[in-house]
Every structure is written in structure tokens, then in C-alpha cells.
Amino acid sequence: MIRFNWKRLYACALSGALMGTSFTALVPVSCAWAQVSTLPDFADLVEQVSPSVVNIRTLEKVNAQPMQGPQMDEDMLEFFRRFGMPMPNTPRQAPPRNHPQKPRSEEQPRGVGSGFVLSADGFIMTNAHVVDGADEVLVTLTDNREFKAKIIGADKRSDVAVLKIDATGLPAVKVGDVSRLRVGEWVVAIGSPFGLENTVTAGIVSAKQRDTGEYLPFIQTDVAINPGNSGGPLINMRGEVVGINSQIYSRSGGSMGISFSIPMDEALRVSEQLRATGKVTRGRIGVQIDRVTKEVAESIGLGKAQGALVRAVEEGAPADKAGVEAGDIIVKFDGKAVEKSSDLPRMVGAVKPGTKSTLTVFRRGATKELTVVIVEIPSDKPVAKAPDKPVKPKGSAAAQALGLVVGELSDAKKAELRIKGGVTVESVADAAARAGLREGDVITQVGNTATPDLKTFESALVKLDKAKSVALLVYRDDMAQFVFVKPSR
């Protein structure tokens, strides 16, 4: 199919008429810039890749209650079903005494999904949510051969699963380079939407590095993805798999032009661990983080809004042992820049537990390098402690000017928060209340100045520009955050 840019062709014809040149002679010679574009033809790549795409059906075992009355003939049941007639009530009779009937177990369909051949010896890749909770997994190839599959491993965090079927000589997919994938590039999905096997849909890459998952930066496309497409391949124009179709944004349950795929490079790293050990091991350092806003970056002299703001450090965790403090901003991990907070869990998670890594943190106007030993991520998270009661306020003139009444921090609170010092917020009003400060908050830093006691806190406030917002590092419920207080005029 050929598409012409009619506006440009009209301009060519008009200019040709003004110059006394015929339109026919003009188009191929004088107006080569009148673009002619050809829509892509996906037939060859679909023919190439579709034999590698499989249909996945899952079954679950349920306990069926035994019939307690005469059973209706199957042909009669089909008659009532076909003509939409209500089923007749059949009389029930009690089971014979001393002969209790046990419930019988039967398999029922649970769900339908897609997958693709990862290697010729029978390894299949799909989504973890496709096989989650399944008692039996059936894989159907394009030549209609059906196999019972063994679940080698499934990782819910990345939504990647690896299956194995007893077959050889299978047509494995070719894996593409995700780093070469460009926004606007044509891509194709093959899968089983609503159980319709080997359905092909096409679209373009809408965005990359979408932060919709804890450990994965998703590929966003406008390819029509529907229930049943999950686990199928996302294919580039070279016939290479660049992603696994995983999620859709929908208000109706059907495609709305926004779908998300797991990048294939990330999926392969997960699959390698699943094939080797049946599980995925990820690293952790024991910090709770938040994004760095432009306001925070400018107020503390970081400049660019980048890195991960440390809001809390778990006691005894690797970060704690390395000297990481709440309020630090982690700007590099192993020498690689942390552009946004969501980058850090992915970087740390990809490191093998036991490895020594380097953190570059920005603290009170300067950078510092710390060495941390990565440990394995646990399944449970520590429960935050409730704040203790504030001590009696001793007053601070500068603090009161911001609507704050503060007091010395108790030794017990210092030990609980594992900090060297700070001041306790006793009451808030005016500017402090508008900024969101609360009673019981603990302030440990003003701008880039540490405030371990009332004296240093007062001194730091006195030196600040009264016309500008004050950046305070505040602890609340064992979490640290920057709060900006704009003085009243």
C-alpha cells in the first residue's frame, strides 16, 4: 500500500504550473522531496516467529460434591443447555447408611495464556501470573502437539516464569537487543487473547523505562494486548523478541492502547537463575527511599534532581553498618549514576548477595563514598515503631518565628531512631502547620547543617535567609523526609 503526501504533491503541481512544467514530468524529477512511504508488511516475520509461540492452559483441582440423587442423561442435559431452558429439579435421595460418599477431585480450567520457546530442548518462557496457583499446565504448539509442562520456577516480583516440556528440536526465538529499541519503532505481539491462538497484533513502542514495577522498567506500547496475551512475545521488525507482554491499562478489561512488556534482557537474567536454582536471589542494603524533588535538590545544593533520598535505615542492615544515614541521597551505586529513586532497587537487586559494593552519598553539601556488603532480600519487612511521647519544651525564639515550639530530644528517642541528636517538635502553628509538620516530629538538620541540640538548631535558623523557605530534615515514624517551611511575611 502506497501513501502520498498530497499537500506536498499539490505544492509540486502548483509550482510546476507556474513554471510551465507538466505535473507528470515534475513529480519524479523536481519534487523528489514529495515523500512516498510504505506501510510495513508483517507477514514474513510472523511466519518466521509464530512457530515459536505457544498456547498455555492451566488447570486446578477442585472437590466436586457427590450426586445424591438420580443423574439425568447427558443427552437430555445437552438438550436443556442448547435451547436455554432451565434445568429441571431432580428429586434427591439420602445416601445409604454406613456408606458415606467421599467428594471426588476433578480438574477444571483455570486460565489461558501465552508463551514462547526459549530453547530447542523444551524450555518455555511466560508470565508468573499465568501459571500462579495452577495444579497442571498444558502447552500447545502451533502443530497442535500438546504437552504437560513442569514449572521450573516463577518469580512474582518480575512476573517471569520458566516451564519445561519433554520435547526436542523446537523452534526457539531469537532474542533482540533491548537497548537498540527506539520509541516509535514498529513492534508485533503474538499470543492467545481470549483463547484465540496465534493472534497477531501490531503497534509502536510508546515509551521505555516505565516505572510500573518494583524491579523492572517496562516497555510501553500501543499494541492491542488482551487477557490471554500474557506471557507472549513482543517482536521487533527483525523478528527478534524484545519483551514479554505482561500488563495492560484498562477500565473495561480489554485493550485501551496502553500495554506493558517486560524487557527481554531483564527477563533473561531472571530466567537464568530460575533454570539454575528454581528461584531468584536479589540483593538488598536495608534502606527505605523516596524520590529527590527539584525543591530538595536546590535547597541542599545538589543542583540536579537525581538519586534516591534515604528516609530510613534498618538497624543492623548493610547500609547501617556502612554508615548510611537518613537524609543521605544516594547518587551512585558501584560508580553508576542513580538517576531516579527507582533505579536503586534494580541496581542492588541485580547484585549477588555477599558482594562488596560502593555507595556514593550526598550529605550536607558534600559527597562521600561508603562500602556496603550486599545481603539477600528477605520476604518480610520490619514493622515501624510508634513514636514516643515528646519531652517538655524548652523554647526557641527562632523556631517560634516559624510557628514551631521545640524541645531537647530524649536519650531513649535517640537510641530508638539511632541518631546522635535532634530536637523534638512540641507544637506547630502558622508556617510550620502549613508545611505539614506535626507534634512528635524530630528535626535533625536545617539546610545542610546538622542540629543535634537546641543550641545548634537555634544557631542554624538565625543564619538562614528569612525571605526563603527553610529545608528541615524531619523524622516521623522512623522515616526521614525533607519538609520546607516558608516563613510568614
In DSSP notation, 373-406 reads: E-EEPPSS-PPPPPP-PPPPP---HHHHHTTEEE
Q: Tell me 70's DSSP state.
A: P
HSE of 332 in the Cβ direction (CA atoms, 13 Å)? Answer: 13
176 marked as part of a ligand binding site: no
Return d(Cα 357, Cα 212) in angstroms, integer: 26
228 marked as part of a ligand binding site: yes
Q: Is the dihedral of CA 423, 428, 430, 436 positive or negative?
A: positive
| Residue 289, beta-bridge partner list | 310
Return d(Cα 282, Cα 377) in angstroms, integer: 6
Which grid coordinates are listed for 281?
Answer: 536471589
| Residue of 429, 422, 431, 425 whose CA lies nearest to 460 | 422
| Known catalytic membership, residue 159 | yes
Which grid coordinates are listed for 164?
Answer: 519445561
> What are phi and psi for residue 128, nearest 5 degrees?
-65, -35
User: If DSSP codes are grouped into helix, strand and coil, which group holds residue 413?
Assistant: helix
229 marked as part of a ligand binding site: yes
Instruction: Kindly name the residue from 121, 129, 290, 430 that is annotated as catalytic.
Output: 129
Return d(Cα 166, Cα 150) in angstroms, integer: 9
| Residue of 207, 203, 218 whose CA lies nearest to 183 | 207
Instruction: Kindly name the residue from 159, 328, 441, 478 that is annotated as catalytic.
Output: 159
Return d(Cα 43, Cα 47) in angstroms, integer: 6
111 marked as part of a ligand binding site: no
What dihedral do alpha carbons 334, 339, 257, 50 form, nearest 10°?
-20
Antiparallel, parallel or unpaired: β 287-291 and 283-284: unpaired
63 marked as part of a ligand binding site: no
Q: Produce one character per residue of 219-246: b if its CB has 16 or more CB atoms within 10 Å, e if not.
A: bbbbbbbbbbbbbbbbbbeebbbbbbbb
In angstroms, how far is the first alpha carbon of the chain from the final one?
68
Instruction: Kindly name the residue from 50, 158, 230, 299 that is annotated as catalytic.
Output: 230
Annotated binding-site ranges for substrate: 129, 159, 228-230
Q: Which residues are annotated as a binding site?
A: 129, 159, 228-230
What are the residue numbers of the active site?
A: 129, 159, 230
